[in-house]
Chain A
């Protein structure tokens, strides 16, 4: 079977002279926070594609590191966000609805959005048929509806384990926005085989606590600089056409006592600016879809007409 040479999920769009995106109330930037609320299984089924754990199982070091987020980190993180009036858009392993319903209750009390990050973070989409992936999408929709009454609008593949046609399936199953693509600082139409619209919303790996703190071993005192510098530039550029800034978080990292002040300082900084729209993922996707999706498709056409022959 031939491997795909690219995702085929989006067209080229130069970051110059784009149709002007306008956010509500004259905001220059849509700022959103995406806490990943996850459950990693102690004894997960094996995956043909990747090792699940890093040490021989039970990998109690890595399991318990992540468990910290649910026992301790979530509440600390939520307390800080509530203080600044910043709602979360939760990238949710939906099994958390069953394991820790108290966490879901608090998310609902805080009027946070819940979207799907698969069932467990130890069950990947890798190697799944399209029907199997559809089952996961539907299962996520039903679980979120049952636990919170919310509709499922957004998607981030569990452990970013998407397959070649996952974006097509998301559109066909009625998902409104995806976070699996990291190609832009503004929302974009996603190309799928479906006639349903799917919007890509920026989910900034550059500001995600896992790559920053776990993979790159950057100190917390540099992480706050990273967040501020990204914000400053996107805020300034948003004067021309609205930008998006996302801070993806994991309560097991940001909710540690030696890191909590990063979140506090970041939210203090962002909310001290006037032209910021404190939004959820769903709100950003819906605003773009309703107002700018068509304009972007039309504008992007000429750049890609030849390439698509």
Chain B
């Protein structure tokens, strides 16, 4: 039996607040009443993940949801995900267009050059393009050197800015995976927000060595990645959970102050023909309620910062 050293009983970071200095303690209950632009109390933030899973992608140290489940060459896995970027996304465009929802497209940058038509169709809708790394075979984690990671961050932002013509101020680390340096590197690349930490339903200020980012709430528990891709739940359980979250956040938004319901969608998961109807029903209900609107991640970030509630 290995001995436990005396240092195991030292708690050098035990004190008020956190054991790191990225953000400070804030209780959601302490946010004041406020409304979003246009008088909405609840904003839907629809974030569509556009992901490319190379057939030769590594399975470690972090295997993303949607990674190759079968031995190489897994045409099954590859083409099932690629389905999202050719069929699923167009089905999703139809549904979101119907409700006038402009989404944030969190894109692997390889898709911008691989499928220029897809990028055109995103820009035609005036969606926001956010950077989500290079592809799903290049996740961000602490086993990369900082130089290697900086190159990936740079490639992602450079490509997406060039192809989209947008400022590209948002960053989503694929699979919600970061190294200790990711927030610093993306801030240095000109990002204004990240959406990788899943500890809040509202934005908060996130410190980096290159200034303060806004950490935007992108729910992982309510993502189709997790519910459908990881937990293998039937679509009815997805619909139930999104509906339940909406009810609680809508009520809170009216009594406690503005809220965001994020919908983290992957065309290869939610936009299968047997699943998209659930999304339609949800959006039909959500968008017909008073005080409910939708906005992109950058819109919400800008509104949030202007409110000056970060203390």
Contacts and interface: CB of A to CB of B under 8 A. Distances in A.
Interface of A: 1, 39, 41-43, 45, 48, 55-58, 60-61, 64-65, 67-68, 70-72, 75-76, 95, 98-102, 119-120, 123, 127-129, 132, 135, 217, 219-221, 256-261
A290 B26 CA distance: 43
A113 B168 CA distance: 49
B29 A61 contact: no
Interface in B28-75: 28-29, 61-62
B62 A56 contact: yes
B200 interface: yes
A64 B14 contact: no
Given A71-B26, A72-B201, A259-B244, A56 B141 contact: yes
A258 B222 CA distance: 8
Main secondary structure of the interface of A (DSSP, over half): loop
B244 A68 contact: no
Nearest to A49: B2
What are the 6 A-B residue pairs with the smallest beta carbon separation, nearest first?
A: A48-B2, A257-B248, A67-B199, A258-B245, A64-B197, A64-B199
A95 B17 CA distance: 11
Main secondary structure of the interface of B (DSSP, over half): loop
B142 A71 contact: no
A260 B248 CA distance: 8
Contacts of A119: 11
Nearest to B248: A257
Nearest to B17: A99
A127 B1 CA distance: 6
A242 B218 CA distance: 45
How large, as a class, is the contact surface on chain B?
35 or more
Given A1-B1, A65-B220, A75-B27, A42 B178 contact: no
B229 to A, nearest CB: 12
B18 interface: yes
B79 interface: no
A27 B295 CA distance: 52
B180 A135 contact: no
Contacts of B198: 61, 64-65, 68
Contacts of B249: 257
